[in-house]
Structure 1
Amino acid sequence: MTSAAESTAWWIYRGHGLPPEGDAEIPELPAPPSWRTFDGGPPLPIPPVSDTEFLRRIGVPSPIAAKQASVREILTVNAALYLRRPILVTGNPGTGKSSLAYRIARELALGPVLRWSISSRTISRDGLWEYDAIGRVQAAAAEENAGAGDFVRLGPLGTALLPYERPRVLLIDELDKSDIHLPNDLLAVFEDGEYEIQPLSRIAATQPDVTVFTHDRGGRATVREGHVRCRSFPVVVVTSNGERDFPPAFLRRCLRLEMPQPDLEQLVGMVAAHFREVPQRGQDLIREFLTISEREGGLANDQLLNAMHLATSNAYQQDENWELLRNTLWQRLIVSGMD
């Protein structure tokens, strides 16, 4: 019979979201399948990470505060790491879908998360690159000494596909808000792990190497002959609030994960990550939140954090109006057609 330790020995991601203690503790990633192997290069180092974004998104890293992920989450993420496939994360608003990307990045030391927020007007090229043609014309008219790369900026998807030594984490947030064609437009990029920047391809004969801006703050990278090809396919986390279905071809290429409403233990861990101490009033508030969330059809985690901040800080002294204020903060997000 296989022991518990043996059954989890293949896990790279364990769901605690704690950063490695040192270089020796950084998890080694498995080799990809032959059909998900790419040869972009030369290899680039992972950019340095600032703790500010992680603290804002998932709180202070500590064993007590770490959210205990479900076995399904851990299995799905590890399968995606081994297979180099995107993860489609669905669930109600505020259940921690986007937080998954930050836990993966911090736990596996994969650098800053590249976030691509989707709207109804987003097209695939928005995530790959943008070219400031007007700026280049103005620079030429003013006889400014600027190269073509000064007017090209890679988007979050385009940056994630640069040939990094280790995969970057890309969060494609709320894809269900997109135009109906965007999921299918992403398929070729997900399969091929590469893309072309046409303005640079046109000048490749005279300027084969062009340094462009990336999506990272202050980031620059050199693009050769107008093409970008990844070396290690990024960890792609796609979130959806379930507002619409996706094409079968897109779903076939993703591993799917449904985020349930968090339970008491998970909420306590989330609150502890943002508040150094959770007083008795805070614990009572979490229980009230759970009760109302179940009754009203699902509240968002940040609604609890908002109430917790007011209830446990000196900004607001609780009085007879507390329940009215709490109900204002905890207005339900899912409204039935009967209302």
Structure 2
Amino acid sequence: MLSHALAAAILATTLAAPATAASVNAGGRPATTELPFVATEIASFDTPWAIAFLPDGRMLVTEKGGALFVVNRDGRKTPVDGVPAVQAGGQNGFLDIAAAPDHRSSRLVYLTYVEPGNGGALALARAKLTVAGTRGALQDLTVIWRQTPRGGGGQPGGIIAFDPDGRHLFLTVGDRMRPASAQDADAARGKVLRLALDGSTPPDNPEASSGGVRGETWSTGHRNPYGLAFDPKGQLWLNEMGPRGGDELNRIEPGSNYGWPVVSNGDNYSGTRIPRHATRPDFAAPALYWTPVIAPAGLAFYDAGLFPAWRGSALIGGLAVGALVRVAFDGQGNADEVERFDMGARIRDVAVGPDGAVYVIEDEAPGRLLRLAPR
């Protein structure tokens, strides 16, 4: 539990933001085993972490221990050399990967990982991907952003999203198990950052003129964010894990503060109570929260044709519940969990393929890459 002095310091550094739409407790929904899709195994991996599609329909899949593969639709796996060394353990390791918006011409990919040594900083790098024959390679790998201050525990975040016009990169940074740092404006922890594609600070960020972490920050007050995606209308959304209760789905607005650890709809693992969002309307409240938790991981929005009833929905991987969770939105932007599909395994990441199918990976060793298509 925070001391009175530390709590006061946190409140003094709080970046206030208006509350969002009223929260809904979606906890306790039973998962259906009558699945509206057939799950077909494409390939298996050693603790896979992230899926990303290349423009030609092939996939990139990361393994937490530090491996990367290009995967064909038939499941053929091509290993990729040149992956940087990672600090693997717990929630840390090789994390996300994403093809650059101009990948067809540049062949660039962006990747995140926890670096070994010096406390394990989260790093964002980009490199050129080449594939020839039975091997691929990351060439000219360059770190374009590194977490400061270094150090911390798990909960690194590290999820990448590009805005719809492909000019900016958004990056989640978890609190690294140091909750108070999420309210420290000069610490790259508990934040969503907005960067130019070369890692520099865009001049129209909320506090760009301040430089440093303040200049990079798009939103703050996050705990353990493992899902970040734009919806079909261009709105940015984030899901994050709460403590004991209070997993969140947040509509991300520039300059907003989402309150962690000052407020939460969950409590500390010790059992001590954390004030609820309703007590502090100056913090942005979640659009949806879960108690009991689902441990939300990957996030993707469905805007394809194979599942017409899912158009506009958010699809979220549930680790604790071993499920794929579908969230729908009304005309006012309010969110509600409408379906939970029992997958029989922890779901780490979710992606929508160019074929309109949904692809998920299991947080297992081995963990399967599955293609979900209508029955």
Shared fold, TM over 0.5:
no
Higher strand share: 2
TM-score, with length taken from structure 2? 0.24
More helix by share: 1
